[in-house]
Structure 1
Amino acid sequence: MLKEFREFAMKGNVVDLAVGVIIGAAFGAIVTSLVSDVIMPIIGAITGGLDFSNYFIPLSKSVTAGNLADAKKQGAVLAYGQFLTLTLNFFIIAFVLFLIIRGMNRLKRLQETQPAAAPKPSREVELLTEIRDLLKKA
């Protein structure tokens, strides 16, 4: 059973999937940093210093904190600013993946439209062609 599992795990598709998941996680971390460290501060500056990640609605009367982290410690909150930030993350990732797949499809179509190069004839075929041409001249 262990041998069978090892064969399954080492198949090309499983390894490709594992590489894709790892690269996807790293890409997700980059996009998260892009949104939280670059895009959201710019949006906050444009809107007068608003920080979307701290937008929340308290769901209990005991929540009196001014920021989300402290509010979560005090009770239940509806963190809609965090939701907006994560939604923006999703749209950025989806758009980048769209661009990547679009580029891959263009390359694939370009490759399909180019005629395949004729294979070079073997040495024997070249010699026979030369003999044929010489015989035609004679």
Structure 2
Amino acid sequence: MALKKIVKEFQDFISRGSVVDLAVGVIVGGAFTTIVNSLVANIIQPLISFITGGGAEIPGLAINLNGNIVDFGAFLSAVINFLITAAAVFAIVKALNKFNDIKEAAAKAAAIKAGLAEEKDGDAAPKPRVCPYCKQKIDRGATRCPHCTSKLDGYQNALE
């Protein structure tokens, strides 16, 4: 009985969209990492080697300590891999967010045009409040102008 319940819960968990999306993301991320590793190993590292005058390995970036090699070149490659991957993911997420914003704005505009929705006052930027005396912009809730200290509508002071 308990085993059937656990199997049912596991089946519900696996069939959720977020788990499937995560699995697809991991697979695509792995494939993308292969591409970035190839870019670093086949293009960027040879360019660095050419600039520094070394061969396949960058001279001066590896230290031999009694047979133990500290390879700063491998670390540099890993950092470059990370930066390229992070920049690519940032660009993809930024483009998807922009695309979603455009799609939502178009859907909202279409709904307003079709009469299925109304444009609300909150959609447009509120007009700034202006002091009637000095003509400077002031906060909507202000009762005194911060520029000329004039008393505005709603001003109350029990001591006056």
TM-score band, normalised by the shorter chain? 0.5 to 0.7
Q: TM-score, normalised by structure 1?
A: 0.67
In the alignment, structure 1 residue 58 sits paired with structure 2 residue 55: no
List per-residue Cα deviations over 1:76-131 (Å, max 9, x = no partner): 322211000000000000111111111112212222333124289xxxxxxxxxxx
Distance 1:53 1:110, change over 3 A: farther
TM (norm. structure 2) is: 0.58
1:31 deviates by 0.3
**What is the number of equivalent residue pairs in this alignment?**
106
Q: State the percentage of identical aligned residues.
A: 42
Question: How far does residue 3 in structure 1 lie from its aligned partner after superposition?
Answer: 2.3
- Structure 2 unaligned blocks of 5 or more: 1-5, 117-160
CA distance in 2, matches of 1:7, 1:82: 43
Quick one: distance in 1 between partners of 2:59 and 2:35? 18
Q: Which residue does 1:30 correspond to in 2? A: 35
Q: 1 CA distance for matches of 2:96 and 2:26?
A: 19
Which runs of no fewer than 5 residues in structure 1 stay unpaired?
Answer: 64-75, 121-138
Moved over 4 A (4+): none
Contact 1:35 1:85 survives alignment (8 Å): yes
Partner of 2:102: 110
CA distance in 2, matches of 1:10, 1:54: 53
Alpha-carbon deviations, 1:21-64, whole Å to 9, x = none? 0110110011001100111112212222352399322232xx2x
Query: Greater share of helix residues, 1 or 2?
Result: 1
**CA distance in 2: counterparts of 1:20 and 1:54, whole angstroms:** 38
Q: Which residue of 2 aligns with 1:135?
A: none
CA distance in 2, matches of 1:53, 1:10: 52
**Contact conserved, 1:54 with 1:82, CA < 8 A, in 2?**
no
Letter of the aligned partner of 1:56 in structure 2?
A: A
Q: Is the 8 A contact 1:54 1:79 kept in 2?
A: no
RMSD over equivalenced CA pairs, Å:
2.3
Instruction: Determine if the alignment matches structure 1 residue 81 to structure 2 residue 87.
Output: no
Structure whose residues are more often strand by fraction: 2
Q: Which residue of 2 aligns with 1:19?
A: 24
Query: 1:92 — aligned with what?
Result: 84
SS at match of 2:110: coil
Equivalent pair of 2:48/2:58 in contact (CA under 8 Å): no
Using CA pairs below 8 Å that are at least 6 residues apart, which structure has the higher relative contact order?
Answer: 1
Amino acid at match of 2:24: V
